[in-house]
Amino acid sequence: MSDYRIERDSMGEMKVPASAYYAAQTQRAVENFPISGIRFPRRFIQALGLVKRSAARANMDLGLLDKKRGEAIVQTAQEVESGKLDGEFVLDIFQTGSGTSTNMNGNEVIANRASELLGAAIGSKEVHPNDHVNMSQSSNDVIPTAIHVAALLSLRDDLRPALLKLHGCFVEKARVFDHIIKSGRTHLMDATPVRLGQEFAGYASHIQHGLSRLDRAEASLSELAQGGTAVGTGVNTPKGFAAKVIDHLNAASGLQAREADDHFEAQGGKDAVVEASGLLKVIACSLMKIANDIRWLASGPRCGLGEIALPSIQPGSSIMPGKVNPVVCEAVTMVAAQVIGNDTAITIGGQGGNFELNVYMPMMAHNLLQSIELLANVSHVFVDKCLDGIVPDEDRCQELVEKNLAVCTALAPAIGYDKAAALSKRAFKEGRNIRDVAREEKVLSDEELDRQLDLRAMTEPNL
């Protein structure tokens, strides 16, 4: 029994680990939901601390919370933000769909730690988890607010810098590779020539559009539910409370959040989270396309395309000596698949707004924040371990583009589609290139033929 203490809530007594700052409601949830072992991510706990700190300051501003308790709550909430108390947040994400257990986990931890700072015993409720820490709040507005704040911080501080780095890498590769002419491909079949730099410029554009999508996600997530309390009416909340909380929150975080236009929408639905996840899914699809292209371009080294070479960072096989695989590209595609899966679950969760409350919020929070984190981390790895070290094989690119039968397309305006097609079929049958067959058939003068089959000119409008 010396390892436990007795804590009480409205349902009675609970044995709680003696050293824990959390109390009875958290312990009940620990015992009720031993499901996955997955806990709320660091960003969410940071955001929850930020919300509690801002709420305490707002309640002090309004004269509802005495300064002594208020400052102790603020100090403890900052410890929550910093990660100092992460070990106290012990709950599974698969719990009550409102996240009430996690809100109370935060309230109990802050209350007991704040009581300790004031010289009172843990469990004394000198600072009360409901009456003081949760003053003017409800789980039903705190949790959606924390989700939005966590996502905004993670988008700003994690994903945006990673995508900017990725974009910059593609822009530089596009510049350096712009002189290299190679075969284009459509339907995985030979098509008219392109420049390797054009392909990489296309990848840069994918990421630039992804950055623009982050702008849209941030705009929607910047609406906060704080102030709606239980059902969106703001019951038990003083006028002006939400505005003060958000002012303090913005000042502390550098965000530009604002109060929701309609609290019933903000709490009954999770459309902003669904939208943000959908935009992350688009970014994941872009990365999937790019990573697949790059591993195709590097396939070989002798029996594939082999137009570029990727850095060799680890052995690729436990049985085939010397084999090296495009492992970073594979990691990128797996992250993309996970983000797409997360979005599916979030989409289902977004439909779970029954009347005045959505009851899928913990799962949605976890999936959204995981998607952001995975995309950010893999973007850094993609640049550092793969893209920075790409080396084009210019001879291979030249060899393949000279063999490319699709260059006959450039002859069609001068000799007609049918005759150009016949040249292509003969060249394929005889294992020769278009240039030699066209010269042999004297379809054009040598000078005009060379002009029409200028590979560089084919990579731009040239009629």
> What amino acid positions are annotated as catalytic residues?
187, 317
Q: Is 7 helix (H, G, I), strand (E, B) or coil?
A: strand
Concatenating the DSSP letter of every residue in 300-332 gives: -SSSS--SEE----S---SSSTT----HHHHHH
Asked whether 386 and 327 are in contact (CB, 8 A), the reply is no
Amino acid at 97: G
Output the CA torsion 91→93→94→95 (10° steps).
50
Q: CA-to-CA distance for 106 and 294, rounded, in angstroms?
A: 45
Please choose, from the candidates 8, 47, 52, 9, the residue with its C-alpha nearest in 3D space to the C-alpha of residue 151. Answer: 47
Taking the C-alpha atoms of residue 379 and residue 393, their distance in angstroms, rounded to an integer, is 24
Buried b (16+ CB within 10 A) or exposed e, 175-191: eebeebbbbbbeeeebe
Nearby residues of 39 by Cβ (< 8 Å), 6 or more positions away: 89, 90, 91, 92, 93
The CA distance from 257 to 253, in Å, is 10
Structural contact between residues 284 and 335, judged by C-beta atoms closer than 8 angstroms: yes
- C-alpha 156/C-alpha 148 separation (Å) is 12
Other CB atoms within a 10 A radius of the CB of residue 215 amount to: 11
Q: If DSSP codes are grouped into helix, strand and coil, which group holds residue 209?
A: helix
Determine contact, residues 437/426, Cβ cutoff 8 Å.
Answer: yes
Element counts in the chain: helices (H) and strands (E): 17, 10
Kindly report the length of the chain: 463
* Spatial separation of the C-alpha atoms in residues 325 and 335, rounded to whole Å: 17
Q: Which two tokens stand for residue 447?
A: 């000078």
Distance CA 435, CA 191 (A): 16
Task: Provide the sign of the torsion angle of the four alpha carbons 107, 108, 113, 114, taken in this order.
Answer: positive
Helix, strand, coil % (nearest 5) of the chain?
Answer: 60, 10, 30
